[in-house]
Structure 1
Amino acid sequence: MHFKLIIALVEDDKTDLVIETARKNGAKGATVVNNARGEGRKRSKTFFGLTLETQRDVLLFLVEEHHSRRILETIATTAEFDNKPGTGIAFQIDVEDAIGVMHQVEELTHELEDSI
């Protein structure tokens, strides 16, 4: 079984929505890294050295490759990445190997067999 890692950087108020959307489209779980800070084309506004931008969360989804594109597209639509600048980004990378996911492999195998 082959996996992809979807990494999404989202505004913290959209974290739960993005996780729920990913789960509905095949993700079995997520890892959330809170309070990330990033900078896009425009520099962040500051006030006495404090950043005024909203906090971001980094969401990590290890998903089976057959589900990855659908998950990526639906979370981008749900979080409005392409409609509103600065709302976030998501991308996927190939995973060469993964350990500790046998329970997911068994469940995914049954799901894929049922869909064929």
Structure 2
Amino acid sequence: MRFKLIVAMVEDELTDAILEAARHAGSTGATVINNARGEGLKKAHGIFGMEITAQRDMLLFLAEEHRSRHILEAIAQVGEFDETPGTGIAFQLDVEDAVGVKSQIKSLSESSD
């Protein structure tokens, strides 16, 4: 079985909605890393010229290859990444090998039967 790693950097208030959308799209779980920091092309400055950095969450999904694009599209739709600049990004990477996913493989095999 081949896997993809989907990485999403999202505004923390969108995390729960994106996790729910990913689950409905076929995700079997995720890892959430809180307090990530992101910067766009231009740094945002507030009062007195101080730099503003919004909190982000990093969401990691190890997804079966055939489901990964569907999950990625669901994440992008809920996060409105293309419609609203600065809300986040998501991308997927090939996973060469993985261990500790035996139960996920079993669950995926049973759901495709």
- Please give the range of the TM-score, normalised by the shorter of the 2 chains: over 0.9
Shift of 1:61: 0.2
Give the superposition deviation at 1:14: 0.3
Distance in structure 2 (CA, Å) of the matches to 1:41 and 1:49: 17
Q: Which runs of 5+ in 1 are unaligned?
A: none
**TM-score, normalised via structure 2 length:** 0.93
**Shift of residue 52 of structure 1?**
2.6
The answer for the alignment partner of 1:56 in structure 2 is 56
Using the size of structure 1 for normalisation, the TM-score is 0.90
- For each residue in 1:82-114, what CA deviation from the matched residue of structure 2 results, as whole angstroms up to 9, or x when unmatched? 0000000000000011100100100101222x3
Q: CA deviation at 1:68?
A: 0.2
Q: Aligned Cα RMSD in Å?
A: 1.5
Code of the aligned partner of 1:60: L
Corresponding residue SS for 1:74: helix
Q: How far does the alpha carbon of each residue in 1:24-73 deviate from its partner, in whole angstroms, 9 at most, with x for none?
A: 11111110111111111121325578643320000000010010000001
In the alignment, structure 2 segments of 5+ residues that lack a partner are: none
Instruction: Specify the code of the residue in structure 1 equivalent to 2:2.
Output: H
